[in-house]
Amino acid sequence: MAMLGHEGERDPVDTRLALKLYEEYKTFFKNAERTRRWNVFDDIPWDKIRKDVPEELALVVETFCAVEAYLPDYVSGGLALVRPYMGSLWFQTNWGYEESKHALSLQEFLLQSGARTDEQMVDLQNKLWAGQRWTPLFQTGRQMTIYGAIQEQATFVFYVRQRERAKELGHETLATIFDFIARDEVAHAHFYEGVVKVLLEQDREGTLRDIATVTRDFKMPAYDLVPDYDERVLVMRELAGMDRDMFFQKVYFPVLKAIGIGRNDVVQAMARQRREAQPSAE
Ligand SMILES: [Fe+2]
Ligand SMILES: [Fe+2]
């Protein structure tokens, strides 16, 4: 099959698959337009912003902001992988718009609260662009779609945790920003889950093999590219931290459930992969 397939071949696009992806996108976009649009300038209570942001909280916001700042790399990498599929392609472009709002609102929070100066923001941007570029962790559209489902769900869980933390600390403006972002992230996860379901119907074994690959090699995007990562990581672990157990309970298992496969399916796919990787012993 074409580029969403494991081999990344450039076969002509399968009509049934193309139409199903188009339907997934339409559903996603319709729901976004009707129930999820928000305005960075009008919907966030900027007038209630507090100027006493604890440094740990500022560091979390800044780190999220930096991770979101790799947007050009995410968009170009993602678009290249799904190029022949209108549904996935339009999703990626719309996704880029939504993610840019995340970065913008977080950045505005840092500036308007006084937690960071204009100079500090520009300095961070310069460091980001002087550093390494982000490149996709996986080589096919199908693998990156599976990755997207898990990664967006993980990001959703991060932002929900941070929303609760901001509320506890009485930072209502920031809690509202995190709330809007979290709603977007979970919608992104749902889109990718829908696509994975379509891909499972189309090629169950190949898709399960890719789920096994992504499970084995999963890591969150770009955190290791962000400047001063070592200093951030301690704070991030403590505040945004997600241990293994939480990752499985709140992220990985819910994604498997949403795409309608069991843990055993993944375990078996992993075992199959290991057998295939070993030279036959006869
Ligand atoms: Fe985001
Ligand atoms: Fe997202």
Domains of the chain: 15-275 (1.10.620.20)
Q: Is the pTM of this model over 0.85?
A: yes
Q: Which residues are in the CB-under-5-Å shell of ion ligand 2?
A: 152, 185, 188
Residue 188: nearest ligand to its CA?
Answer: 2
Q: Kindly give the distance from the C-alpha atom of residue 9 to the centroid of ligand 2, in angstroms, as a whole number.
A: 27
Give the Cα separation of 66 and 127 in Å (integer).
Answer: 10
Give the Cα separation of 51 and 153 in Å (integer).
Answer: 31
Residue 106: nearest ligand to its CA?
Answer: 1
User: Whose structure tokens read 């993980």?
Assistant: 154
Q: Kindly give the distance from the C-alpha atom of residue 152 to the centroid of ligand 2, in angstroms, as a whole number.
A: 5
Q: Kindly give the distance from the C-alpha atom of residue 156 to the centroid of ligand 1, in angstroms, as a whole number.
A: 8
Q: Per residue in 83-94, pLDDT tens?
A: 888 899 999 999
Q: Kindly give the distance from the C-alpha atom of residue 96 to the centroid of ligand 2, in angstroms, as a whole number.
A: 9
CB 145 within 8 A of CB 4: yes
Beta-carbon contacts of 120 under 8 Å, excluding residues fewer than 6 positions away, are none
Q: Per residue in 35-50, pLDDT tens?
A: 999 999 999 999 999 9
**Which structure tokens are listed for 73?**
């790399």
Give the Cα separation of 192 and 198 in Å (integer).
Answer: 10
Q: With CA atoms as reference, report the closest residue to 146 among 136, 156, 134.
A: 136
Each of the 282 residues of the chain gets a pLDDT tens digit; together they read 334 544 444 556 788 899 999 999 999 999 999 999 999 999 999 999 999 999 989 988 998 888 888 888 888 888 888 888 889 999 999 999 999 999 999 999 999 999 999 999 999 888 888 878 888 889 899 999 999 999 999 999 989 999 999 999 999 999 999 999 999 999 999 999 999 999 999 999 999 999 999 999 888 776 667 777 666 766 666 545 677 788 899 999 999 999 999 999 999 999 998 898 887 655
Residue 92: nearest ligand to its CA?
Answer: 2
If one counts every other C-beta atom within 10 angstroms of the C-beta of residue 220, the result is 15
Q: Kindly give the distance from the C-alpha atom of residue 184 to the centroid of ligand 2, in angstroms, as a whole number.
A: 6
Direct distance between the N- and C-terminal alpha carbons of the chain, in angstroms, rounded to an integer: 33
Residue 101: nearest ligand to its CA?
Answer: 1
Q: Kindly give the distance from the C-alpha atom of residue 188 to the centroid of ligand 2, in angstroms, as a whole number.
A: 5
Q: Kindly give the distance from the C-alpha atom of residue 102 to the centroid of ligand 2, in angstroms, as a whole number.
A: 9
Give the Cα separation of 115 and 135 in Å (integer).
Answer: 30
Q: Kindly give the distance from the C-alpha atom of residue 275 to the centroid of ligand 1, in angstroms, as a whole number.
A: 38
Q: Kindly give the distance from the C-alpha atom of residue 36 to the centroid of ligand 2, in angstroms, as a whole number.
A: 13
